[in-house]
Structure 1
Amino acid sequence: MTRQSERNSRFSRREFLAATGGLGVAGLAGCTQDNPSGDATDEPTEAGSDGSGSGGDGGSDGLSGDISIAGSSTVFPLASAMAERFEEQHSDVSISLQSTGSGGGFANYFCTGQTDFNNASRPIQPEEEEQCGGNDVEPVELKVATDALTVIVNNDNDFLGDGLTVEQLNEIWSAESPPETWADVNSEWPDEPLELYGPSDASGTYDYFHETVIGEEGGHRQDYSPTEQDRTIIQGVAGSEYAMGYLGFAYYSQNQDTVQAVPIKDGEGDYVEPSLDTALSGEYTPLSRPLFTYPKVSALEEEHIAEFARFWIENSTSESIVADEVGYVPLSEDERDEMLEKIDSAVGGSA
């Protein structure tokens, strides 16, 4: 599997839906956008309520320029929603988005100085920070939402009962003596081959699942179908009765009629379904996780980029955008204020 990035997302989410004619998952196979979300239906909060930010006058406030963003496919739909709204308010600002995977974005775009932001579904790694430092790229970590990483199976799967334990997930996905059939995991399950779909190793979702389910000392099995496009995981699982996959909650939430989510049991606890509520409460362990975007300090020196960063964080508490439209848990007001302080500190420190 090559780490091939998607083409720039230069048409809006409305145009994307119009182009696909409202088709379901199968109808999206020929598109390179990795965006499960629907049309925008709400008005955004104005960034920079202190007068520094976004009004509704298009480009009349003087903001102009390009913004380039790569990275996580999980964060992509949220970034897309924020970018569309910002461009609507600032017609002279052009935002390009690529879904490359967290690691692919850091290694190939952000840390080489080619992009202004990198989205990530896990924290930046020490080796990535070292690569960035070698190219005079200083990242600023901004939390933008919380995700409930979701394990999915085919709608005809009726043998899992209450769900899966973390131990069973480990057994299924571990490279050490991986089971070949469902019956190898539980003798009461069908003696049918496991058909597995998941993100490639360029993905932060892969990294997070590897760390929390398999463990840092273990290896992720490689005899599965890896992809950087989450809709391909949906398609694969929907097309086979004995398939399983994992991906970000937003993609599942937009395809709940196509596949089913698997409740997960961690230790001695109960089986817990992935949802915004269980991710927020902390019940859905260990698969609830923070999502990030990383602007570089030098990019924040440009007013239109700093204003977009503020705009995104200002709207990160929006239930209608983050939860209802995209499918993630919004930030709390305290988290929002902390992230805004990070932006202001970076801008002030680079002045």
Structure 2
Amino acid sequence: MANEPTAGRAGGLSRRRVLLGVAGTTLSALAGCIARGRETDLEGEILMDGSNTVLPHGAVVSEEFQWRNNRVQIPVRGSGTGAGFQRFCDGETDVQNASRRIFDDGGDDEGALCEANGIEYVELQTALDGIAVYVNPENDWCDCLTTDELERIWESGSDIDTWSDVRDEWPDEELELYGRDPASGTFDYFTEEITGEVGNIRSDYSASADTNVIVRGVRGDRYALGFGGAGYYYENEDDLELVAVDDGDACIEPTRSSIEDGSYEPLTRPLYTYFRADALEREEVRAFAQFYFEEIDGPATEADVVESGETLSWTQWGARRVGFYGISDERLQEEAQTLRHAIAEVLE
């Protein structure tokens, strides 16, 4: 590992298999793995924490950056979006990965904590994820659900107990439900988009912080239904079936094309990277932030996540490489411009 950058290895690695096993712990081994990379004038330590879900994306981008700047160390933690924002707004970290936007509605929330501590930040959308709806492979009746049906199934106080309660022609068998727990950004996004309010969800489903538990639950019960990251389906295609979602136009499944072109709605969600504004005063932090939006080079251009004739930035490449999806080129330019403005303000 020490002798070559990540770009030189296999391009389509599972984020769960490679990196999620270390979620919540510092990726201290990363620095040792890339110690023989390129030496530049940049040096220092950049502290990154936040979303357990987004951790693999931040880790793979930071690994590439450290290979090119081997005197910069970027320990990466995944203590969770909420816990990460607490540290970020206390000024303990420089970079925050987030599976949702910062809570900032003027109340006693994360935005208020940042403000109270004098912490300003720049919010950057750096990847996309699709939240998928799964059923058991033996389920031969449900291949598409409307957003109205999903709302009826999942909302607080739901009167849906059996599949036939959803559609009369479906089996009169109890619907077993599996999903993410309330500490998850996936939970926040799913409930807001499907039931209209964060946290609006029935209480009698099997909630888990681990999507693998959801996968096992759905795999083991013909009458189960669950939700979680789309990447987990593609890692368990023999054990799950996708349910397409109809938002009023057509039944759409979460795929790279439907997520990256925005047609998988409303369950395509943006993933974020936040940089503390005062941290951008440091040259190594500025360079790392800008690296997200620079064009890939070297062996990365030949990776199997890069389609023929396609030009990707490191953030787009990194997203695909760990099982997420790349933001559009238009969004990429917008976010890069946001970063340029933030850096200009800091350096005034």
What band does the TM-score fall into relative to the shorter chain? 0.7 to 0.9
Q: How does 1:202-213 map to 2 (within 5 A)?
A: 202-213=183-194
Q: Deviations over 1:40-62 (max 9, x none)?
A: xxxxxxxxxxxxxxxx9835212
Question: How far apart are the structure 1 equivalents of 2:15 and 2:335?
Answer: 36
Instruction: Give the C-alpha shift of residue 166 in structure 1.
Output: 0.7
Match of 1:281 among 261, 267, 274: 261
1:57–1:89 Cα contact (<8 Å) kept: no
Match of 1:145 among 127, 132, 155: 127
2:121 alignment partner, SS class: coil
Higher deviation after alignment, 134-143 or 80-89: 80-89
Match of 2:92 among 108, 114, 134: 114
Question: How far apart are the structure 2 equivalents of 1:225 and 1:218?
Answer: 15
1:77–1:326 Cα contact (<8 Å) kept: yes
Question: How far apart are the structure 2 equivalents of 1:344 and 1:24?
Answer: 30
Instruction: Give the C-alpha shift of residue 32 in structure 1.
Output: 4.4
Question: How far apart are the structure 1 equivalents of 2:110 and 2:328?
Answer: 28
Q: How does 1:1-351 map to 2 (within 5 A)?
A: 31-33=21-23, 58=37, 60-106=39-85, 108-126=86-104, 127-160=109-142, 162-216=143-197, 219-267=200-248, 269-314=249-294, 317=313, 321-322=317-318, 324-351=320-347
Instruction: Give the C-alpha shift of residue 292 in structure 1.
Output: 1.2
Question: How far apart are the structure 1 equivalents of 2:316 and 2:268?
Answer: 20
Instruction: Give the C-alpha shift of residue 213 in structure 1.
Output: 0.6
Question: How far apart are the structure 2 equivalents of 1:281 and 1:58?
Answer: 36
List structure 1 segments (4+ residues) > 4 angstroms apart after TM superposition.
22-25
1:57–1:90 Cα contact (<8 Å) kept: no
TM-score, normalised with respect to structure 1: 0.76
Instruction: Name 2:28's counterpart in structure 1.
Output: none
Q: Which amino acid aligns with 1:284?
A: Y
Question: How far apart are the structure 1 equivalents of 2:14 and 2:138?
Answer: 22
Residue identity (%): 38
Instruction: Give the C-alpha shift of residue 204 in structure 1.
Output: 2.1
Q: Deviations over 1:289-347 (max 9, x none)?
A: 22211111122222222221111232563598246423333234443333223223323
1:303–1:336 Cα change, 3 Å? same
1:314 alignment partner, SS class: coil
What value does the CA root-mean-square deviation take over the aligned residues?
Answer: 3.3
Question: How far apart are the structure 2 equivalents of 1:343 and 1:230?
Answer: 33
1:143 alignment partner, SS class: strand
Instruction: Give the C-alpha shift of residue 265 in structure 1.
Output: 0.8
1:337–1:189 Cα change, 3 Å? same
1:184–1:334 Cα change, 3 Å? closer
1:223–1:271 Cα change, 3 Å? same
Q: Which runs of 5+ in 2 are unaligned?
A: 25-34, 296-311
Higher deviation after alignment, 224-233 or 60-69: 224-233
Question: How far apart are the structure 2 equivalents of 1:113 and 1:222?
Answer: 36
1:265–1:272 Cα contact (<8 Å) kept: yes
1:306–1:343 Cα contact (<8 Å) kept: no
1:181–1:194 Cα contact (<8 Å) kept: yes
1:94–1:319 Cα change, 3 Å? closer
Q: Deviations over 1:81-120 (max 9, x none)?
A: 21222222222322222334433322x3222222222222
Question: How far apart are the structure 2 equivalents of 1:113 and 1:325?
Answer: 30
2:182–2:199 Cα contact (<8 Å) kept: no
1:258–1:324 Cα change, 3 Å? farther
Instruction: Give the C-alpha shift of residue 143 in structure 1.
Output: 1.0
Q: Which amino acid aligns with 1:290?
A: P
2:23–2:52 Cα contact (<8 Å) kept: no
Question: How far apart are the structure 1 equivalents of 2:63 and 2:198?
Answer: 41
Q: Deviations over 1:7-50 (max 9, x none)?
A: xxxxxx98xx9xxxx9998x99x94449xxxxxxxxxxxxxxxx
Aligned residues: 308
Question: How far apart are the structure 1 equivalents of 2:14 and 2:269?
Answer: 30
Q: Deviations over 1:146-198 (max 9, x none)?
A: 222211222222221x3111111111111123433333323433344333332
2:316–2:327 Cα contact (<8 Å) kept: no
Q: Which runs of 5+ in 1 are unaligned?
A: 1-12, 35-55
TM-score, normalised with respect to structure 2: 0.76
Q: Which amino acid aligns with 1:136?
A: G
1:164 alignment partner, SS class: strand
1:150–1:248 Cα contact (<8 Å) kept: yes
Question: How far apart are the structure 2 equivalents of 1:182 and 1:295?
Answer: 46
Question: How far apart are the structure 2 equivalents of 1:248 and 1:327?
Answer: 10
